[in-house]
Structure 1
Amino acid sequence: MKWKQLPLGPLQTNAYLLINERKECLIFDPGSEGEAFNSYLEENALKPLAILLTHAHFDHIGAVDAVRKHWNVPVYVHKKEKNWLGDPSLNGSQFFQLGPITANPAEHLILSEEKLVISNFELEILFTPGHSPGSVSFYHEASKVVFSGDALFAGSIGRTDLPGGNHEQLIQSIHNKLLILPEETTVLSGHGMTTTIEREMDSNPFLNGF
């Protein structure tokens, strides 16, 4: 399998595709530019199977409805953020000068840490709250990647000043759920460059000394 990073929208939020040999794909965090995103999928003859949300902040959900409607695929989000999709005061869009951003309710609520199997994709769901109450990361062992959302970045960590954020909880999530992954695991973050677990263990200034 292979993955593709697609930065979208004014905040350049990273959407990702995980693609199998049949050109089926899972979509992670389609944050904006729904028409352009759909065009990319069509031009590359990709067949989406589902939209997986690491969390429901506005910059990660802006294209959800456009993509879901076009491809008729279900959306997955953690149960703690089931109401965030339709509420700008929870998803944060009311605090920025972009207008209210909403999406319709998700078809599937993530209830616990578990294996998620869709076609021949097998992902491990890791509960990584702190940036938001329902933040999750998706670990694909076969590809040695983790889709970390806004929990862990190259040289940084997610902000915790939006509704439901908790700095101590985020640090614990990173140490207890992400840094225990194999060191060669590639971290596919919600913004910025990719990194690795090893690199963040060694040099992330927010994690050293914990």
Structure 2
Amino acid sequence: MALQIAIVPVTAFEQNCTVLMCDNTKEAAIVDPGGEINKIKAQIEKMGANPTKILLTHAHIDHAGGTAALARDLGLPIIGPHKEDDFWIQSLPQQSMMFGFPNVESFTPDQWLNDGDTVTVGDVTLEVIHAPGHTPGHVVFFDKDSKKALVGDVIFNGSIGRTDFPKGNFEELVSSIREKLFPLGDDIEFICGHGPNSTFGHERQHNPFVSDHRG
């Protein structure tokens, strides 16, 4: 049940939209289509993938801005994030004006996600972890078999997500990372919303915000 992963940086924020494809079935999920949907469609075509769903880690515009248009174009259900991010989804038109994004629409997901849920991509099962702090409804997708996690803007290589947005919470974010993500294992590689991949083990050693040495 191998998972093929392609990262497509989109928008002026260089957000890592991720295409996850099950090698067995060629079914694919598009995670965080923030914009530039033609770029995302080109990657799907290149992989020979059959997209079956859109997954959202959270609803900031650079992660969710292209969702409504892509879902309509490809006839895909929108799954996630947690319902606590609904206020961000409904504010997408305002976010688009603020950040200069073209014609971003709000939407209602076909399914909200909760901690402990699972979602499938072909034969692959992803575990859902509710990891609030950056946004209150942020979720992480974890594939135990490939030892990969899609963490959105919870943690980065050498940093963590901002908490100065509405309903952000620094203590909650640190708790999400240390109590929910680090226990998954030092060898878990994560794909974050911006910048290069890392592992939880590396961040436990070196991340200035959440390392074991910070106490």
TM class, shorter-length: over 0.9
**TM-score normalised according to structure 2 size:** 0.90
Report if the CA contact (8 A) 1:82-1:109 is conserved.
no
Question: Following the alignment from structure 1 to structure 2, what is the Cα–Cα distance between the partners of residues 59 and 150?
Answer: 11
Segment drifting more, 112-121 vs 70-79: 112-121
Shift of 1:112: 3.6
The answer to which of 197-206 and 58-67 deviates more is 58-67
Aligned residues: 209
Question: Residues 159 and 100 from structure 1, CA distance in 2 versus in 1: closer, same or farther, beyond 3 angstroms?
Answer: farther
Whether the aligned pair in 1 keeps the contact of 2:133 and 2:174 (CA below 8 Å) is yes
Query: Is it true that 1:7 corresponds to 2:17 in the alignment?
Result: no
State the secondary structure of the residue aligned to 1:35. helix
Rate the CA distance shift 1:179–1:112 in 2: closer, same or farther, 3 A: closer
The Cα RMSD (Å) is 1.8
Match in the other structure for 1:110: 113
Q: Which moved more, 1:148-157 or 1:45-54?
A: 45-54
Identity over aligned pairs, percent: 33
For structure 1, the residue ranges without an aligned partner over 5 or more in a row are none
> 2:18, 2:31 within 8 Å by CA — same for their partners in 1?
yes
Separation of aligned partners in 1, 2:160 and 2:96:
20
How far the C-alpha of 1:130 sits from its partner, in A, is 0.2
Alignment correspondent of 1:101: 104
Q: Secondary structure in 2 aligned to 1:180?
A: helix
Query: Which stretch has the larger CA shift, 119-128 or 75-84?
Result: 75-84
Deviates more, 1:135-144 or 1:62-71: 62-71
d(CA) in 2 for partners of 1:96 and 1:70?
24
- In the alignment, what sits opposite 2:147? 144
Q: Distance in 2 between matches of 1:18 and 1:176?
A: 26
Aligned partners of 2:118 and 2:127 also within 8 Å: yes
Counterpart CA distance in 2 for 1:99 and 1:23 is 31
The one-letter code sitting in structure 1 at the alignment partner of 2:89 is: L
Greater shift, 157-166 or 103-112, is seen at 103-112
Aligned match of 1:184 in 187, 201, 206? 187
Counterpart of 1:86 in structure 2 is 90
- State whether residues 61 and 102 of structure 1, in contact with CA within 8 Å, keep that contact through their aligned partners in structure 2: no
SS of match in other structure, 1:26? strand
2:196 aligned counterpart, secondary structure: coil
TM-fit CA distance, 1:97: 4.1
- 96-105 or 157-166, which deviates more: 96-105
- Secondary structure of 1:122 counterpart: strand
SS in 1 for 2:184: coil
Runs of 4 or more above 6 Å deviation: none
Give the distance between the partners of 2:46 and 2:102, measured in 1 at CA: 30
The residue that corresponds to 2:72 in the other structure is 69
- Correspondence list, 1:147-162, <5 A: 147-162=150-165
Determine helix, strand or coil for the equivalent of 2:168.
coil
C-alpha distance in structure 1 between counterparts of 2:125 and 2:11, whole Å: 29
Once the two structures are superposed, residues 2-61 of structure 1 have per-residue CA deviations (whole angstroms, 9 ceiling, x without a partner) of: 211111110000011111122211111011101221132123321111111000001101
Aligned to 2:18: 16
**Contact residue 134 and residue 169 of structure 2 kept, 8 A:** yes
Q: Is the 8 A contact 1:26 1:51 kept in 2?
A: yes
Q: Do the aligned partners of residues 97 and 118 (structure 1) sit closer, same or farther apart at CA in structure 2, a change above 3 Å counting?
A: closer
